[in-house]
Amino acid sequence: MGIFSSKKRKLEKKQLTFAQKLKFYITKYLFVTFGAFVAAFAIEGFLIPNNIIDGGIVGISMMVSYLTKFNLGVILVLFNLPFLFLALQKMGKTFVLTILYGVTMLGIFVNLINIHVTDSDLLATVFGGIILGFGVGLILRNDGALDGTEILAIRLAKKFGFSVGEIIMFFNFFIYTAAGFLYGWDSAMYSILTYFIAFRVIDIVLEGLNSSKSIYIITNFASDIGDAIMKELNISVTYMKGKGGYSGKEQTIIYCVVSRIEVTKIKNLIREYDPSAFYFIQDVHEVDGVRVKKK
């Protein structure tokens, strides 16, 4: 028998030991707890004292608590319960348990934290949005959530054909309109800005600051350029087969993933070998795995 058997080897999922599973879940729930604390700190320390709200269920809960003077933590949990039942039907018990835990911890922390950081609407908007986004991002990164709006949006998107983002935007339009009548239009606009800042920070937490770039290169000198990339830049490349739509000509496409500081180097290298080469560059997040180097 040779080195490679003609029979395909079945890829088996790696089984975690009990200790590994325990470590995984402890770490996960610690991050969810810390994320809930950070989000609660943003809500109590920056947003509520300045009549600024978040979007979704959290924003609705804040307005209901403002009107009724009822406990915000309890409202947050109660308002999210119906959406947890929706999630239970399609997304599994583990996911729902993580959401329930995160929402419960948020409800507890908003009651425990009693702090007023700033009276400046602008500072409250910017730093409140940053801190809130960081906390929510930590929870989302660990398979949790603090807001049932997205769960409902996922279900409605499948039923009516709209995107999840469009449905969330639709909900938030009415939420921030209501905030305008309740708190005043300045507060409503600050709330929208807070939501936007938090949204961007969530992306950073989920995807990281150090995003890489993927490059596709279509050229008649694929072998020369590919060899030069590997030799001069020490970057591994992948060759893919392509076919021109108009010409019908078979071509080799070069694909590689590089860091931001390597983009200029690889563009200059392409120009040196083939000034007429066609290439395009895309953002890539969460790059993982071994970067293969030549032997």
Compute the average pLDDT of residues 88-109. 83
Q: What digits encode the pLDDT tens for the residues 150-189?
A: 777 767 766 777 666 677 788 888 889 998 998 889 999 9
Measured N-to-C along each axis, helices 149-160 and 56-68 cross at an angle, to the nearest 10 degrees, of 130
> 56, exposed or middle or buried, with CB in 10 Å at 0-12, 13-18, 19+?
buried
User: What pLDDT score was predicted for residue 99?
Assistant: 86
Q: Is this structure's pTM higher than 0.85? A: no
Compute the average pLDDT of residues 25-42. 91
User: What pLDDT score was predicted for residue 145?
Assistant: 80
Which of 18-27, 46-55, 81-90 shows the lowest mean pLDDT across its residues?
81-90
Across all residues in the chain, what is the average pLDDT? 82
CA angle 54, 88, 159 (to 5 degrees): 75
User: What pLDDT score was predicted for residue 295?
Assistant: 47
Measured N-to-C along each axis, helices 164-183 and 185-207 cross at an angle, to the nearest 10 degrees, of 150
List C-alpha distances in Å: 85 to 92, 128, 140, 142, 148. 10, 30, 19, 20, 10
More confident site: 213 or 288: 213
The fraction of the chain above a pLDDT of 70, given in percent, is 85
The fraction of the chain above a pLDDT of 90, given in percent, is 22
Residue 203 contacts residue 165 (beta carbons within 8 Å): no
User: What pLDDT score was predicted for residue 289?
Assistant: 61
> Can you name the CATH fold of 212-284?
Alpha-Beta Plaits (3.30.70)
Residue 87 contacts residue 156 (beta carbons within 8 Å): no
User: What pLDDT score was predicted for residue 134?
Assistant: 92
CA-CA distance, 256 to 271, in Å (whole number)? Answer: 16
Compute the average pLDDT of residues 199-222. 81
Q: What digits encode the pLDDT tens for the residues 221-264?
A: 888 888 888 888 888 888 988 877 777 788 889 999 887 778 88
User: What pLDDT score was predicted for residue 34?
Assistant: 94
User: What pLDDT score was predicted for residue 126?
Assistant: 93
Q: Which residues pair with 212 in a beta bridge?
A: 284
Q: What digits encode the pLDDT tens for the residues 37-68?
A: 999 999 999 999 999 888 888 889 999 999 99
34: tokens are 């810390």
User: What pLDDT score was predicted for residue 88?
Assistant: 73
Nearest CA to 167 out of 181, 176, 177, 155 is that of 155
Q: Where are the domains of the chain?
A: 18-207, 212-284
Compute the average pLDDT of residues 111-137. 90
Q: Is the pLDDT of residue 269 over 70?
A: yes
